[in-house]
């Protein structure tokens, strides 16, 4: 593809060199430059791509797209075409669309955003669409997939080049729909800038990622970007029980479905029945009444199902196909994932890693447990520190015993992370209405899981929260294999051997 075709739609501040040069690839990491590639210099959080312009040139880059000239990077001194733009993140998003032939125009793309529930909601939507006979791609936290092809997920929403490349591959493989999680990071960093969404769904907004966003308002505005890009024909599907959802609904400029339980909404659940085996409830929709039976558990999954119903309706899927698609999803990896102990107590693994998600998880668990809830969790390093004491407080208020441990400490001291969680734990332990009888700090997550399994008695429920589907621990800059589910099974085997 010629460079001139690749940069269509981009506002160029300055250009030098031959715009007719052929480009065979686009990269933003100079280590991946090969002859024939366009190197895009992006300012990252750990380094600045502009520092590696000379390296990219020496490796054979055919053109550069940059934000600025520096003393060492004067355009006149660079022997290949150079384009200067105001925002290289926005520019690479448009370059990616041009490079892959604007694949979102050939697909019906459904974006799901919000703090909690994105993964489960996308799994439900995909099941509805696949059950109705439509080949559907999935992009999200657990994996990227279409048909029988599954790729490991690097980011919830990939970088622009990878995202558009996935869409192109899915379109070329006869996918009609793609369901994608859209993170606030992806929106703020313009990974999906310029992409056409046929529908956008908002689950909720609670405290998270405040290490990245300046505050809750900034976090909300990032989420709202997904909806501001919709046209007058595209559908917004919004949880109107959430205060941020109501605010977002008031901003909608095109067709809108609201959904909820507590307030009247376009898609409204009532007569909800809960059990450890799943959910049953009625839903009133613009297309009529629908009876839902699902193997998923908890009030939060009622909301996820309602959102998925809205997405199904926006794609003109009949109600009976929506109901059967939802019924086909009995579990989602790492989301209230049940592990059979074989010893009379339950074990659940869940991705809950915010205060709100942990509270909802433990409230759901309380409806099924016969005796005690033993909760094990930690908080990630180099992430929002403000939620740590809040999660500690939630665990003490809604569990009978709490084990605080390590969870992806990254470059932070894991003992300090646990101490910040413990501040909330201690505050909650002083309250007369607390539920927990005690707590323990165990740095080693494997040892913590073993302790929780050893102390469980018949009728108890062990809740292992925070990592869910993840099969690693990030310690320092190393990603080490670690899977809560494997550790639980190992601990169960050890306990059985001791009996």
In order along its 499 residues, the chain shows pLDDT tens digits of 999 999 999 999 999 999 999 999 999 999 999 999 999 999 988 889 999 999 999 999 999 999 976 555 566 778 999 999 999 999 999 999 999 999 999 999 999 999 999 999 999 999 999 999 999 999 999 999 999 999 989 899 999 999 999 999 999 999 999 999 999 999 999 999 999 999 999 999 998 888 888 899 999 999 999 999 999 999 999 999 999 999 999 999 899 999 999 999 999 999 999 988 899 999 999 999 999 999 999 999 999 999 999 999 999 999 999 999 999 999 999 999 999 999 999 999 999 999 999 999 999 999 888 899 999 999 999 999 999 999 999 999 999 999 999 999 999 999 999 999 999 999 999 998 789 999 999 999 999 999 999 999 999 999 999 999 999 999 999 999 999 999 999 999 999 988 7
Buried residues in 473-487 as b, exposed as e (16+ CB within 10 A): bbbeeeeeebbbbeb
CA-to-CA distance for 286 and 328, rounded, in angstroms?
Answer: 23
Give the residue among 38, 63, 41, 58 at the shortest CA–CA distance from 50: 41
Between CA 238 and CA 226 the distance in angstroms is: 12
User: What is the predicted pLDDT for the residue at 73?
Assistant: 58
What pLDDT score does 498 carry? 83
CATH 3.40.1390.10 boundaries in the chain:
3-98
Supply the pLDDT for residue 434: 87
Q: At 481, give phi and psi (nearest 5°).
A: -65, 130
Cα 246 to Cα 357: distance, rounded to the nearest angstrom? 20
Q: Other C-beta atoms within 10 Å of 88: how many?
A: 24
H/E stretch holding 453 reads: helix 445-455
3-state secondary structure of 466: coil
| Tokens describing residue 4 | 């001139």
Structure tokens at 289: 């009444």
Among residues 89, 179, 91, the alpha carbon closest in space to that of 129 is found at: 179
Per-residue tokens: 429: 């332990």
Comma-separated ranges of CATH 3.90.190.20 domains in the chain: 337-498
Helix (H) or strand (E) holding 273: strand 267-275
CA distances 151 to 142, 146, 162, 249, Å, are 9, 9, 12, 34
CATH top class, domain 3-98: alpha beta
Q: Among candidates 286, 319, 358, which has minimal Cα distance to 116?
A: 358
Architecture of the domain delimited by 337-498: Alpha-Beta Complex (3.90)
State pTM to two decimals.
0.92
Which helix (H) or strand (E) segment is 348 a member of?
Answer: strand 346-350
Looking at the chain, how many residues does it have? 499
Give the bridge partners for 143, in sequence order: 152
Instruction: Report the DSSP pairing between strands 136-139 and 143-146.
Output: antiparallel
b/e per residue 434-457 (b: at least 16 CB within 10 A): bbbeebebbeebbebbbbbbeebe
Query: What is the C-alpha radius of gyration for the chain, rounded to an integer number of angstroms?
Result: 24
CA distance 353 to 335: 11
| CATH architecture of the region 102-327 | 3-Layer(aba) Sandwich (3.40)
DSSP letters, 182-214, are --HHHHHTTTTTTPPPSEEEE----S--TTTSS
**Contacts (Cβ under 8 Å, ≥6 apart) of 316:** none
Please name which of 200, 210, 214 lies closest in space to residue 384, comparing C-alpha atoms. 210
């Amino acid at each position: 593809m010629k460079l001139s075709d690749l940069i269509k739609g981009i506002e160029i501040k300055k250009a030098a060199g031959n715009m007719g040069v052929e480009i065979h690839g686009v990269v933003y990491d100079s280590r991946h430059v090969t002859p024939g590639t366009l190197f895009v210099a992006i300012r990252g959080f750990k380094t600045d791509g502009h520092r590696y312009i000379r390296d990219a040139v020496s490796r054979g880059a055919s053109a550069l797209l940059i934000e600025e000239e520096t003393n060492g990077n004067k355009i006149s001194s660079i022997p290949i075409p150079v384009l200067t733009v105001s925002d290289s993140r926005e520019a690479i998003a448009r370059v990616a669309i041009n490079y892959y032939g604007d694949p979102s125009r050939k697909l019906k793309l459904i974006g799901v955003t919000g703090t909690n529930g994105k993964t489960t909601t996308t799994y439900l939507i995909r099941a509805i669409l696949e059950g109705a006979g439509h080949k559907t791609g999935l992009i999200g936290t657990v994996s990227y997939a279409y048909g029988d092809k599954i790729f490991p997920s690097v980011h919830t929403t990939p970088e622009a080049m990878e995202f558009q490349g996935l869409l192109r591959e899915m379109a070329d493989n006869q996918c009609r729909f793609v369901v994608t999680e859209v993170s606030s990071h992806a929106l703020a960093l313009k990974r999906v800038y310029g992409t056409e969404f046929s529908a956008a769904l908002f689950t909720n907004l609670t405290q998270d990622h405040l290490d990245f966003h300046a505050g809750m308002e900034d976090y909300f505005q990032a989420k709202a970007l997904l909806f501001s890009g919709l046209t007058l024909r595209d559908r917004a599907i919004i949880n109107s029980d959430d205060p941020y959802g109501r605010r977002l609904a008031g901003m909608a400029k095109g067709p809108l479905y609201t959904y909820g339980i507590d307030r009247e909404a376009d898609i409204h659940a009532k007569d909800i029945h809960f059990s450890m085996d799943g959910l049953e409830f009625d839903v009133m929709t613009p297309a009529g009444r629908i009876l839902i039976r699902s193997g998923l558990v908890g009030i939060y999954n009622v909301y996820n199902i309602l959102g998925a119903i809205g997405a199904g309706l926006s794609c003109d899927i009949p109600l009976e196909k929506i109901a059967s698609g939802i019924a086909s999803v009995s579990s989602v990896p790492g989301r209230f994932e049940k592990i059979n102990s074989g010893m009379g107590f339950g074990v659940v693994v869940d991705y809950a890693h915010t205060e709100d998600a942990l509270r909802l998880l433990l409230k759901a668990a309380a409806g099924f447990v016969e005796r005690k809830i033993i909760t094990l969790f930690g908080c990630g390093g180099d992430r929002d520190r403000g939620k740590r004491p809040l999660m500690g407080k939630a665990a003490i208020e809604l569990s009978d015993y709490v084990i605080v441990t390590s969870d992806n400490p990254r470059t932070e001291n894991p003992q300090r992370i646990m101490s910040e969680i413990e501040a909330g734990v201690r505050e909650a332990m002083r309250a007369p209405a607390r539920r927990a009888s005690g707590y323990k700090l165990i740095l080693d997550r494997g040892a913590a899981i073993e302790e929780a399994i050893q102390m469980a008695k018949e009728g108890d429920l062990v809740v292992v929260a925070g990592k869910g589907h993840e099969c690693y621990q990030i310690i320092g800059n190393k990603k080490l294999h670690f899977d809560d589910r494997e550790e639980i099974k190992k601990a169960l085997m050890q306990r059985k051997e001791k009996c």
